[in-house]
Chains A and B, each alone.
Chain A
Amino acid sequence: MLKDITLGQYYPVKSPVHNLDPRIKIILTIAFIVAVFLGSSLWAFFPVAAYIILAALLAHLPLKLLLKGIKPLRIILIFTFLLNLFFNAGETVLVEVWKIRITLEGLLTAIRFSMRLVFLVSGASLLTLTTPPVVLTDGMERLLSPLRKIGFPAHELAMMMSIALRFIPVLLEEADKIMKAQMARGADFESGNLIQRAKSMVPLLVPLFVSAFRRAGDLAMAMEARCYHGGEGRTRLRVMKLTMNDLYACLITVALMVVVALI
């Protein structure tokens, strides 16, 4: 039921992309997003598309999975497209019906903005699909750690993020179980108007909150019992090391940026 949510879920296969250093992957994702916005002509999207398809192939990801991540966006996409299509002032008029004018410039902008959105999301989901959440937050912590000098709580932030991410599937599973338990007692979550439906969520939400607080308390206790006291002086089991693959990935991405900037 609730387990069908796949957005941002890690896809566990072995591949060169999965093995890249998380710090590099985060930087490359940002670089990719910059590249997506760098291109001014529509031709610039061809290298961008090629890049993302290449990355997906190297990561052994089915392209279907990437497309699935875009699906929840379709309403925003359509909205963006239509808004740009109808409300862009331009010279070359393609169609004119009553007060609505579709211009060539408007059409191009509409396509550009929707494409940017699609690539933005697929780039970001490529990162989360190929990087386990814990590794991702580790990478973020390392990237942000220079900011600690000015008092930025990099470790605490990363720890909170890992815990939050770690507990999403746990809470989903729990919600699924409680939902089934209440359905077994005749609860109806699907029919009725908005108020009835909101009310019908009470038997689901109360136990879910109770259990979330219980889990949080247990976790805090377990961490204390193992002498957790923040990131100060903490060493790691897996030390991040850059490899040749990381270098190649950087080179390919730089090449992409150059190509896009030139087009």
Chain B
Amino acid sequence: MSIRIEHMSHVYQPGSPFEADALEDIDLTINDGDLLALIGHTGSGKSTLAQHLNGLLTPTSGRVLVDGEDINAKGADRRALRQRVGLLFQYAEYQLFEETVYKDIAFGPKNQGLTGDELDARVREAFAKVHLPADTLEKSPFELSGGQMRRVALAGVVAMQPRVLVMDEPIAGLDPKGRDELTEVIRELHDGGVTIVLISHNMDDVARIATRVAVLDKGHLAMLGTPREIFARGEELESMGLDVPQTIQLCRRLREGGMGVPDCLTNEELAAAICETLKGGAADA
């Protein structure tokens, strides 16, 4: 299932003194099986773009096509669309409302019309995917920690079995352990065949798990490519107020110091490259 965004623009509160161009002429295709990372400075339009993907916002101009269908066309079934394209909001832990975690996860599938065993299976399957301790299922979501609450919220979206999952800064504000765990959950979901759009400020995670990266700058799509291609343009990224992953920063420093290592995206890759260079250096001497 692919999402195609054609020349889309969005203006907030047009015609008032609060008018603001959020997105301008965005052209982007999200392919089946992508793990697309959407990065950009605060206010670059990432969250606005995310809300267009399942019809919560309507573009001021341009089109959004899901499986070739214009989702804002007259008579388009928005609710059916939202089952196919799931959206996890920023700070999603604040959307929980039910008495127990189980009931909260069941909210989405119930709205899809599921009941009985089918509903139960969905809830348990989604709950298992987010790796929470088994006894939390019957607890109140308000007793959990922030990180756990966020994973409950994620389970609530996963339970609808969307083909595409859009996540707005799912790891923001979590401690390192919570971040690693959630990143792992995202990776597993992707491996399970879900197309993922991930908004993130954490370049290390983007480098580690993304298959493609889109860079937004002031409402424009500034770059699009593989993480390796994007992070090779470090100076341009920095001019947009963005970082490059720590591994790449280290590679750069090493090169400045005279060590010929290529840009590496993960720790493992970097360690291997350093070993290789050192060995090569030893052979020369």
List chain A positions with a Cβ less than 8 A from chain B.
Answer: 3, 11-13, 174, 177-178, 180-188, 202-203, 206-207, 210-211
Q: Which residues of A contact B157 (CB under 8 A)?
A: 184-185
In the docked arrangement, what's the CA distance between A182 and B13, Å? Answer: 23
**B82, A183: Cβ atoms closer than 8 Å:** yes
Whether a CB of chain A sits under 8 angstroms from the CB of B170 is no
Q: Which residues of B contact A188 (CB under 8 A)?
A: 79, 111
Closest residue of A by beta carbon distance from B157: A185
**A184, B56: Cβ atoms closer than 8 Å:** yes
Closest residue of A by beta carbon distance from B110: A186
10 contacts between A and B (CB under 8 A): A180-B51, A183-B56, A184-B54, A184-B89, A185-B157, A186-B82, A187-B107, A187-B111, A210-B94, A210-B97
Whether a CB of chain A sits under 8 angstroms from the CB of B277 is no
**B97, A184: Cβ atoms closer than 8 Å:** no
Q: Which residues of B contact A206 (CB under 8 A)?
A: 97
In the docked arrangement, what's the CA distance between A12 and B19, Å? Answer: 12
Whether a CB of chain A sits under 8 angstroms from the CB of B210 is no
Closest residue of B by beta carbon distance from A180: B56
Q: Which residues of B contact A184 (CB under 8 A)?
A: 54, 56, 82, 86-87, 89, 157
In-complex Cβ contact of A13 among B13, B17, B86 (8 A): B17
Whether a CB of chain A sits under 8 angstroms from the CB of B112 is yes
Q: Which residues of B contact A210 (CB under 8 A)?
A: 94, 97, 142
Q: Which residues of B contact A12 (CB under 8 A)?
A: 17
In the docked arrangement, what's the CA distance between A184 and B95, Å? Answer: 11
Chain A facing B: main interface SS: helix
In the docked arrangement, what's the CA distance between A188 and B78, Å? Answer: 11
Q: Which residues of A contact B112 (CB under 8 A)?
A: 186
In the docked arrangement, what's the CA distance between A187 and B87, Å? Answer: 13
**A185, B156: Cβ atoms closer than 8 Å:** yes
In the docked arrangement, what's the CA distance between A132 and B89, Å? Answer: 31
Q: Which residues of A contact B86 (CB under 8 A)?
A: 184
In the docked arrangement, what's the CA distance between A180 and B94, Å? Answer: 12
Chain B facing A: main interface SS: helix
Q: Which residues of A contact B111 (CB under 8 A)?
A: 185-188
Q: Which residues of A contact B87 (CB under 8 A)?
A: 181, 184
Considering only residues 84-114 of chain B, those with a C-beta below 8 Å from chain A are: 86-87, 89, 92, 94-97, 107-108, 111-112
**A207, B79: Cβ atoms closer than 8 Å:** no
Least distance between B28 CB and chain A CB atoms (Å): 20
**B92, A203: Cβ atoms closer than 8 Å:** no
Closest residue of B by beta carbon distance from A204: B97
Closest residue of B by beta carbon distance from A178: B95
Q: A184-B82, A184-B157 are in contact. List 5 more A-B contacts (CB 8 A).
A: A180-B51, A184-B56, A184-B87, A185-B156, A207-B95
**A186, B89: Cβ atoms closer than 8 Å:** no
Whether a CB of chain A sits under 8 angstroms from the CB of B160 is yes
Least distance between B281 CB and chain A CB atoms (Å): 54
Closest residue of A by beta carbon distance from B83: A186
Q: A178-B95, A207-B97 are in contact. Are A186 and B160 (CB under 8 A)?
A: yes
In the docked arrangement, what's the CA distance between A56 and B269, Å? Answer: 66
In the docked arrangement, what's the CA distance between A184 and B92, Å? Answer: 12
In the docked arrangement, what's the CA distance between A181 and B154, Å? Answer: 11
Q: Which residues of A contact B51 (CB under 8 A)?
A: 180
Least distance between B13 CB and chain A CB atoms (Å): 7
In the docked arrangement, what's the CA distance between A3 and B54, Å? Answer: 20
In the docked arrangement, what's the CA distance between A181 and B160, Å? Answer: 13
In the docked arrangement, what's the CA distance between A211 and B93, Å? Answer: 11
In the docked arrangement, what's the CA distance between A186 and B92, Å? Answer: 15
Q: Which residues of B contact A182 (CB under 8 A)?
A: 95, 107
The interface centre, meaning the residue of B17, B56, B142 with most chain A CB atoms within 10 A of its CB, is: B56
Q: Which residues of A contact B82 (CB under 8 A)?
A: 183-186
